[in-house]
Structure 1
């Protein structure tokens, strides 16, 4: 037990046997809580000797938890008052690391007798540009997470802003990421019922997010987490922004395989970039494959934005889902539906599947004229004609 849990109650040392942590996801769990390659500052120079030494020093630490000793923190508001989200580090136990990135690690933990995930972000001392970017992402993620409350949004608990390590404490999602879940599945093996359940969780979370005026900007299977009940929650808001402020943003945010063409081209964009990304995620659910497999991320971005290419649709999937995917990843953002519409379509289709009702053209499946068009020709037979991408 001692080997899988360092009994670090910050500021004190305790017996490992006094705490029982939930099982951790496998060590191969992707870490979505650090910048993707498309988010990092574009630098051409090689790391300096000081930067290399700093990285080696951090990598040599068995656990970053020793850097979170309770003490004076830089977590006060402009008026000097303590932020309401500020963590009480004396109540935090740090367990196993189960994911890591170039500037972050994610640990299991216990906070106030509750199982949690603790994301720690190291703030580099030598690279000012990267430090500013990481601080901005941390502030953005805390600002959004601390104000979002929905069953399909990962629950924020507390945070700590104490250089050289910042940390964000959230609920512990025991089943890891959607990408990890799909990686274990055979291609095209998910049932329609499972696809609909997972897709509804994601789309409801995104519907709520957009209702709050927030654009996620990095929706992908790595940023969708599963709990014990296999319910999906949207996570990682480090690159999110308010839609009213996104217009002032420059450059692209997100991850190339899931990135909307207008974002790749650094053109003006709206919340519809999230709908495009959802289309790719829904495709992942119907295939259990990685989008644009066989291409590098840059090749995938070029293919989607310049050649209007999309991953090949499943020939065994219901035309209802394939048609919805095609609408979501339309090259024209105006033709992509809102998440309220997506939820309505998925709920209606889920109702038909659960009740064993055939989906026929003459049925009153209407949420506006567009829904009839979406369901047109969708009859419950397993031998469907391939839908071209």
Structure 2
């Protein structure tokens, strides 16, 4: 309960800032409304006895405090932004506010859920008509609060395009019709779908899977992918059934096209990247990972995080890829002879030390820390090192590769936290998003 008073204080500061914003007034007011709903919920939690608060609630309150701090920094810059600043940064406005609102939504669900559990436990102990009446009043208040939050979250989707089966005539290929990328099992072409630039993946050695079986797997997986919708996760449009009535029908995977290629390709290129740009790219990548980690009730991990799994779109927006429609793809393609394995360069100390260690979000955060180090340095991790050398230095000597001398200290501290030897000390993706947002805001002010 140590975080309740700081939360209420931050909420009060946010209300004051919103009254003085010069740009993005509606978005800022929307944030203020969500903060108000959370404040009411936190006040109800404050009324409990100190010993009645669960560890999950304490953790949620702690993270909410960090999220409110990042929201405060986000709103503060719009109290002083000039018209020029607004135009220059206009492309990222929506994503910034969407990210904050996602964090608020997740916090509300955790805290509201805990509140309901406590209410049910209390109800079992209630004896007598007066207590029953009082409890119903409390339940009505909670229900009203929940309805208010649902109303606040009732915003249109980022896209009107749904993931679905796509007809061949809906796709236009770029000519000459040549693949811009090839792997051992597929070819990828540029094209257009409903006005969107897309990448079209075709399997060169498809499995002899029946169309009905592929559709069944696809329809089940679509529901999961819809929960992953985020500006920082590679967008999937669906699959196309090519020559479905012919002797050899083919399925094509239609996905978002990112013109700058993979993050690794961008870092290897001669393009100039300021520290502000690098910090924003780190924030984009973290938001994609957060959405993946937070979406599923059960622990959901990517399983193979590296700089090639992130793609870079126009405006240097970074998106997480490499896991979309995995079950559908498995039903379509033959297994690659050079089976992809998690690179030793990205392996956490605990997985290096024990091959049977259960891969977790903590392990994945270490891998992500290596990716952030790559963004900061533009170098390849442990370049030229043998697996034996990496094992000795990382696992036994607790070594981390150094950051550039001119790396902003707050950014460097976060990168080092992700690469901490002890997995307990690594931040969650949500906390990392909040703190990176503050770093970006500070760098933009300079």
Same fold (TM over 0.5): yes
1:221 to 277, 295, 307: 307
Q: Indicate if the aligned counterparts of 2:278 and 2:376 stay in contact, CA closer than 8 A.
A: yes
What is residue 119 of structure 1 aligned with on the other side? 201
Question: Aligned residues, how many?
Answer: 256
Q: How does 1:118-137 map to 2 (within 5 A)?
A: 118-123=200-205
CA distance 1:260–1:138, shift in 2 (3 Å): farther
Q: Indicate if the aligned counterparts of 2:164 and 2:239 stay in contact, CA closer than 8 A.
A: yes
Please provide the CA RMSD for this pair.
3.6
Q: Hey, what's the Cα distance between the residues in 2 that align with 1:334 and 1:218?
A: 20
What secondary structure does 2:350 align onto? helix
Point out where structure 2 has 5 or more consecutive residues left out of the alignment. Answer: 1-161, 209-216, 243-247, 328-338
Q: Hey, what's the Cα distance between the residues in 2 that align with 1:190 and 1:231?
A: 13
What is residue 159 of structure 1 aligned with on the other side? 239
What secondary structure does 2:252 align onto? strand
In the TM superposition, what is the alpha-carbon distance from 1:144 to its structure 2 partner? 4.7
CA distance 1:303–1:252, shift in 2 (3 Å): farther
Q: TM-score, normalised by structure 2?
A: 0.50
1:148 to 222, 228, 233: 228
Q: How does 1:1-389 map to 2 (within 5 A)?
A: 85-95=164-174, 96-123=178-205, 144-160=224-240, 166-185=251-270, 190-213=273-296, 214-237=300-323, 254-264=342-352, 265-296=355-386, 300=390, 303-305=393-395, 308-356=398-446
What is residue 54 of structure 2 aligned with on the other side? none
1:252-311 Cα distance to aligned partner (Å, 9 max, x none): 953332233334423112212221121111101111111111125676467544554432
What secondary structure does 1:205 align onto? helix
CA distance 1:307–1:98, shift in 2 (3 Å): farther
Q: Hey, what's the Cα distance between the residues in 2 that align with 1:190 and 1:326?
A: 21
From the two aligned structures, give the one with the greater strand fraction: 1
Q: Indicate if the aligned counterparts of 1:124 and 1:164 stay in contact, CA closer than 8 A.
A: no
Q: Hey, what's the Cα distance between the residues in 2 that align with 1:165 and 1:331?
A: 47
What secondary structure does 2:189 align onto? strand
CA distance 1:181–1:298, shift in 2 (3 Å): farther
Moved more, 105-114 or 302-311: 302-311
What secondary structure does 1:175 align onto? coil
1:190-245 Cα distance to aligned partner (Å, 9 max, x none): 4221111101111111111111132112222111111122211111106989xxxx
CA distance 1:256–1:99, shift in 2 (3 Å): farther
In the TM superposition, what is the alpha-carbon distance from 1:329 to its structure 2 partner? 1.4
What secondary structure does 1:222 align onto? coil
Q: Hey, what's the Cα distance between the residues in 1 that align with 2:265 and 2:362?
A: 26
In the TM superposition, what is the alpha-carbon distance from 1:166 to its structure 2 partner? 4.4
Q: Hey, what's the Cα distance between the residues in 2 that align with 1:315 and 1:348?
A: 21
Q: Hey, what's the Cα distance between the residues in 2 that align with 1:115 and 1:234?
A: 17
Q: Hey, what's the Cα distance between the residues in 2 that align with 1:160 and 1:301?
A: 44
Q: Hey, what's the Cα distance between the residues in 2 that align with 1:168 and 1:121?
A: 9
1:61-84 Cα distance to aligned partner (Å, 9 max, x none): xxxxxxxxxxxxxxxxxxxxxx97
What secondary structure does 1:215 align onto? coil
CA distance 1:159–1:252, shift in 2 (3 Å): closer
Q: Indicate if the aligned counterparts of 1:174 and 1:228 stay in contact, CA closer than 8 A.
A: yes
1:334-356 Cα distance to aligned partner (Å, 9 max, x none): 21110111112112222222223
In the TM superposition, what is the alpha-carbon distance from 1:106 to its structure 2 partner? 1.6
Q: Hey, what's the Cα distance between the residues in 1 that align with 2:203 and 2:388?
A: 26
1:150-169 Cα distance to aligned partner (Å, 9 max, x none): 11111110114777854321
Q: Indicate if the aligned counterparts of 1:190 and 1:285 stay in contact, CA closer than 8 A.
A: no
Q: Hey, what's the Cα distance between the residues in 1 that align with 2:435 and 2:260?
A: 27
Q: Indicate if the aligned counterparts of 1:328 and 1:336 stay in contact, CA closer than 8 A.
A: yes
Q: Hey, what's the Cα distance between the residues in 1 that align with 2:206 and 2:399?
A: 39
CA distance 1:160–1:295, shift in 2 (3 Å): farther
What is residue 16 of structure 2 aligned with on the other side? none
